[in-house]
Amino acid sequence: MSRRTTIPSQPSRPFSAGTCVLYGIGAGLLGVAAMTAGEKIEQFFTGRPSSYVPGYTLARLLSVSNPEKDGMFRWNMAMHYGQGAVAAVVRAFMSAGGIRGPFADFMFVSVRLAIDQTLENWVGVGALPWWVSCASHLHLQ
């Protein structure tokens, strides 16, 4: 399969929309599993604690006021796997539409970060991006 960013003569979509959704969900779940394993290995060696921002974000999205501290790992994993599966569906449709290669990978990083930041800021769990706080600081002076 070609890693070119675009396909000169766009062929008809080889898969149905349902197949793209299933492939995207499967790829997303595998990707999250790989990333989670890598993160746990990194945490083992560096001693960095887990971030519970994804878990608190999911709890707020589902209107759970005070999630149990003991269950935060489950909330985190549910958010990671759910978000990864949904975002990968977007990537599957990009690929099916001929948007492939390194440029598509770069575009998808922006999509993934936008999903994270939008949900976290929407429910009031995440911090605003650095440039918002800098711009606000400059306007106040």
Rounded to whole angstroms, the Cα distance separating 97 from 11 reads 9
Q: Is 59 exposed, middle or buried (0-12, 13-18, 19+ CB in 10 A)?
A: buried
Residue closest to 113 by CA, chosen among 133, 135, 83, 134:
83
pTM (two decimals): 0.77
Q: Express each pLDDT in 75-109 by its tens digit.
A: 999 999 999 999 999 999 988 888 888 888 899 98
Residue 15 has pLDDT above 80, yes or no: no
Backbone CA torsion sign across 8, 14, 16, 22: negative
Other Cβ atoms within 10 Å of 102 Cβ, number = 10
Sign of CA dihedral 130, 136, 140, 141: positive
User: In the predicted model, is pLDDT for residue 135 greater than 60?
Assistant: no
pLDDT given at position 14: 67
